[in-house]
A and B are shown apart, each in its own frame.
Chain A
Amino acid sequence: MRYSIFTIYLISRYKSILLWSISMALLAIMFTALYEPFAGAVEGMAEIAPAEMEAIWGGNLEYASTPAGWLGIELYGIFLPIVLAIIAVNSGSTAIGGEEDSGTLELLLASPISRSRIVVEKSLSIITQIGLVAISVWGGVALGSFLFSFKVIFYGS
């Protein structure tokens, strides 16, 4: 395997990314499983919800009670952005700061590479890490729809 700042950073974060991926995939499966028992409740909830709450699902009740709408609001609308932001902040703060802190940044700076390349490779690595968690969520939904009566389209429209 070829070593680069990109791959080394990815490898050094694999435990964290693996844990997040598994938990988020399980969460996705859980959401697909909960759709049937909860789908009815959405309608009831919509009637008593204040206008601000309604804004989350755009006031479109028909959409909110479909499988796609259920995921769009609950999983993709609330949980996924928060988790991805946590991972991004975490990974971003250790990307350069962690190496500076531990003293290993000097070894990178003593190499014939520009500082901007260090930043770019680290950034690409963070994006990949987030992407891997996002893909796991997709996998969780796919598995869930296979296990439970939950119909969503996985590609195209």
Chain B
Amino acid sequence: MLLDTPLVINDFSKNYRGVAAVENLNLRVHREEIFGFLGPNGAGKTTTIRAILNFIIPSKGSISIFGKDSVEDSVDLKNHIGYLPGDISLYNAMNGNHFLRYMSSLGRKADWAYVKELSAKLEISLNRKIGDLSKGNKQKIGLIQAFMHKPNLLILDEPTSGLDPLMKRVFYEIVQEMKSLGKTIFISSHDLTEVQRLCDRAGFIRDGKLIATENLREISNLNLRRYTITFESPKKVTQFNKLKNVSDISVDGNELTVTISGSVRELINELSRYDPTDLFEHETSLEDLFMRYY
């Protein structure tokens, strides 16, 4: 098994009734890399993931995992892949333990000590019936089943959906730990902030086409944030539109909303003169980013 080439996607296309869901996608993910697969909803992220796992067969091109073909060697490859479906659904009648034992008996041999460690970290009881758990807690069970056999390649579709901020941080730690063990992690997301925080590299997909891949450790121009600042009294746009690094300024009564890239020094200095009462950071939307850079 060629551990150094965990995932190579060659000219992959998938058509549904003549309509292309993904077109000529080329991608190479390296060992010990956390790769973010970014795109708006319906861009083709899940289609690509489904092809990697051989749920669907490519219309064109091929996908190679650890040097083996994703279709030909699909069964054997799954011993080395951990998969978290997006919008996960589990067997509601089982409890967490039964579910993991079932999954383990289907071939992905769980490391039970690790399962115990994960459930402690994620603060989830495996003795409760899955049907009684909240969405976030179901997500945690889903994460445990993806990680339980310490696979060499993790494919995670929207892994943090439903998790609270504290648990997101725990998840980031678990992923970093896997990376340090030499594993490769492929994460799909539409949350730019999360990908920036977690991933080494990111690919941007829109309308089924890979627009760009960026090394997130090297570039800072992706570091876009959007803030809403509330003041004591109403303000005018003209008071702020000469600031450096700031764009998309809008004022609504005593609320100012700006997009900032790079240093916040000047913005903060300026704001402090106007009695700010509140500062709120928005989740950076991909659309903002696309409009700006692609």
Q: How far is the CB of A105 from chain B (nearest CB, A)?
A: 9
Closest-by-CB residue of A relative to B85 is A106
Note all chain B residues with C-beta closer than 8 A to A102.
89
Note all chain B residues with C-beta closer than 8 A to A12.
91, 93
Q: How far is the CB of B104 from chain A (nearest CB, A)?
A: 8
| Cα separation A2 to B98 with both chains bound (whole Å) | 11
- Count of interface residues, chain A, beta-carbon cutoff 8 Å: 18
Q: Is the CB of B103 within 8 A of A111?
A: yes
Q: How far is the CB of B238 from chain A (nearest CB, A)?
A: 53
| Cα separation A103 to B87 with both chains bound (whole Å) | 9
Q: Give the residues from 57 to 98 in chain B that come closer than 8 angstroms, CB to CB, to chain A.
A: 75-79, 81, 83, 85, 87-91, 93, 98
If over half of A's interface residues share one DSSP class (helix, strand or loop), that class is named, otherwise mixed; here it is: loop
From B89, B93, B106, A103 is in contact (CB under 8 Å) with B89
Cβ-based interface call for A157 (8 A): no
| Cα separation A138 to B191 with both chains bound (whole Å) | 61
Q: How far is the CB of B164 from chain A (nearest CB, A)?
A: 23
Cβ-based interface call for A104 (8 A): yes
Q: How far is the CB of B52 from chain A (nearest CB, A)?
A: 10
Closest-by-CB residue of B relative to A106 is B85
**Per-residue A-contact encoding for B94-122, CB less than 8 Å = 1, 0 else:** 00001001110111100000000000000
From B78, B90, B91, A111 is in contact (CB under 8 Å) with B78
Q: A113 and B85 in contact (CB under 8 A), knowing A104-B90, A107-B90?
A: no
| Cα separation A114 to B55 with both chains bound (whole Å) | 12
| Cα separation A15 to B3 with both chains bound (whole Å) | 47
- Stretch in A3-11, A63-71, A125-133 touching the partner: A3-11
Cβ-based interface call for A110 (8 A): yes
Cβ-based interface call for B22 (8 A): no
**Per-residue A-contact encoding for B46-58, CB less than 8 Å = 1, 0 else:** 0000000111000
Q: Is the CB of A112 within 8 A of B78?
A: yes
Residues of B within 8 A of A (CB): 53-55, 75-79, 81, 83, 85, 87-91, 93, 98, 101-103, 105-108, 145
14 contacts between A and B (CB under 8 A): A3-B98, A4-B106, A5-B106, A102-B89, A103-B87, A104-B89, A106-B55, A106-B83, A106-B85, A109-B55, A110-B78, A110-B83, A111-B108, A113-B106
User: Apart from A4-B105, A12-B91, what 8 extra A-B contacts exist at CB < 8 Å?
Assistant: A3-B102, A103-B88, A103-B89, A106-B83, A107-B85, A111-B78, A112-B75, A112-B108
Residues of A within 8 A of B (CB): 2-5, 8, 12, 102-104, 106-114
Complex A-B, nearest 5 residue pairs according to Cβ-Cβ distance, in ascending order? A103-B89, A111-B106, A112-B107, A112-B78, A110-B83
